[in-house]
Amino acid sequence: MITRGQLDEALALQSDSRERLGGILCKLGYIGESDLLNTLATQFNLRMFEPAKDAIEPAAIDFIPLEFARRYNVLPIRLADEFLTVALSDPLDVEARDQLQKITMRKGLSVEYLLAPPDVLERTRETNYNRVEGSRNVNQLIDKVMGEIEVMLPSDDEPDEDEVQRRAQDAGVIKLVDQMIGMSLEDRATDIHIEPQEHNLVIRFRMDGLLYDALTPPRAVYTGVISRIKILANMDIAERRACQDGRFTYKKNQREVDIRVSAIPTLHGEKLVLRLLDKTTFNFSLRDLGFSETNYKVFTNAIHNPYGMILLSGPTGSGKSTTLYASLLELRNETRNITTIEDPVEYQIDRINQVQVNIRKKITFSNTLRSFLRQDPDIIMVGEIRDADTADIAVRAALTGHMVFSTIHANDAPATATRLVSMGIESFMAASALTLVAAQRLVRRNCRHCLEEYQPPDEVLLAVSSPGQLNVNDKPIRFMRGGGCALCKGRGYTGRVAIVEMMPITTGIRQLIAENRPAGEIRHLALKEGMKTLRQSGFEKVETGLTTLEEVMRVCLGDE
């Protein structure tokens, strides 16, 4: 409610302008935008636009030109059953409604209106028009390139080198590759898979850890697309029967992405995988990783030690590098010299000295690590401990007053500790060097826009080794999932969050490592001392509605 004085003030301002009374009251802070919209919705009997439920259909986007939608600040949503559904932010805009009426009457359509906040309307409109336009451009380019190639060479799958060069330089092919990479970045993909089949080309994007079909152009575009990417990546386009690697930088809209390319020969031709590494500034904090409060405190205490070694384990794509980068960002200040050796450098961080592995120039993990020790380091990050030599130097660095961060291949936290010993490190040295070890996985995060309660299938519940594990806080769990909406493209998930098995090296555990005891014995003591397993960490995320039980079981399959 507003007072008479507030209303009079707003009316006085309105007399000097052409603004709506409601907008003036919002600017003065007397009512909120949601109050205004709810009042308008009630007054005009309109439903509020819900991005999670109101999927934007390409047919509706095609029906209303972008210039019209921007001019009258509307968003076309659906075109079905002789109705065009449109969202607007101002139902009092008579001109906008009249113009929409004219357009729809020509096609024998009626208009159904929804109400949306101006910022939501604008953001949703621009995103969806760009997506539809991008998809239209890709399809047009595919048709253009396919037509040209089919006319020139209807059946030859082995064009000569001159023909390969000519196809790779075709303007349509160049645009097609550019659109493909642009689409992958819009979808927050981490990898692009280009897979030749007998009759077509399958292009898939890896999003949130899983692969999804993105494009299926005809086989006719294969040579041009593959050759274009190989030229960009400085690879040999004449060599089609051997494995190759290359890289290039993609720049668009002030965004710079480092793209690593791998090519392997398959039955139907070369398969390419493009790894997308965003070179923009890293801005994750440890809080952003999704650690439980207990794990956050344990990890933060460990990384602030003046010396020692912190080891992370997990499969490729499990977020280990992100955790290491967030740790370095936490520790970075003007009093510390932080150096890293990585393959590849995934994120660039100011005031951290990052070195890229280059085998041809003998810049290896072990060689560079030796050089680091002559560079007066405080903190060293080694992207991965791959061999005994690197392991030995890293351990000795940790024992001589440096803080060392690295990753290693192991299935769980206790096995991470014993892995160093199996690589040839003396058990007493490994025990003395280690400060904390952790195993990490990433689970997909439930889409918060379409969150709903559900009951997991019986087979999933039965797969849990101990039903009691699910009651993390001795409370019945409300299982939640994303039901699927326009914002998550029907998948039910957006983004990922870490689940972690964190094992600080206590006196007891240090003793077991020094005595070269098996990982199972170390695990038993760690659990007794309060370590949460990967599954238990995942179940905590299930309990809070962040992810699903199925997702935890998917990434922790075989883990206890």
Same domain, 342 and 470: yes
So what's the pLDDT on residue 141? 66
Same domain, 214 and 345: no
Please give the residue range of the domain that contains residue 243.
153-278
Contacts of 250-259 with CB under 8 Å at 24 or more apart are 250/181, 252/178, 252/182, 252/185, 255/185, 255/280, 256/280, 257/181, 257/185, 258/344, 259/181, 259/233
Domain of 254: which CATH number?
3.30.450.90
d(CA 77, CA 61): 7
Domain of 290: which CATH number?
3.40.50.300
Q: Are 501 and 292 in contact (CB under 8 A)?
A: no
Q: How many residues does this entry show for the chain?
A: 560
Same domain, 290 and 273: no
Does pLDDT of 560 surpass 90?
A: no
Same domain, 547 and 423: yes
Instruction: Encode pLDDT of 475-519 as tens digits.
Output: 678 899 987 776 787 788 999 999 999 999 999 999 999 999 999
Is 61 among the domain residues? Answer: no
- Whole-Å CA distances, 472 to 19, 476, 501, 537: 55, 9, 15, 9
Same domain, 495 and 471: yes
Is 55 among the domain residues? Answer: no
Instruction: Encode pLDDT of 292-351 as tens digits.
Output: 999 999 999 999 999 999 999 999 889 999 999 999 999 999 999 999 999 988 888 899
Same domain, 268 and 328: no
Single-letter amino acid, residue 373:
L
* Average pLDDT of span 254-266: 92
Same domain, 294 and 237: no
- Domain end: 245, 278, 311, which one? 278
Give residue 31's Cα distance to chain centre. 38
Same domain, 393 and 256: no
Q: What percent of the chain has pLDDT over 90?
A: 54
Is 58 among the domain residues? Answer: no
Query: Is residue 344 reached through a cis peptide bond, with omega within 30 degrees of 0 on the bond before it?
Result: yes
pTM of the model: 0.75
d(CA 205, CA 184): 6
Domain tally for the chain?
A: 2
Q: In what side-by-side order are the strands of the sheet with 244-252?
A: 210-215, 201-207, 191-196, 269-278, 255-266, 244-252
Same domain, 430 and 373: yes
Q: Are 502 and 531 in contact (CB under 8 A)?
A: yes
Q: Token pair for residue 408?
A: 């290693």
Q: Are 556 and 535 in contact (CB under 8 A)?
A: yes
Q: Are 499 and 537 in contact (CB under 8 A)?
A: yes
Coil, helix or strand at residue 29:
coil
d(CA 264, CA 271): 5
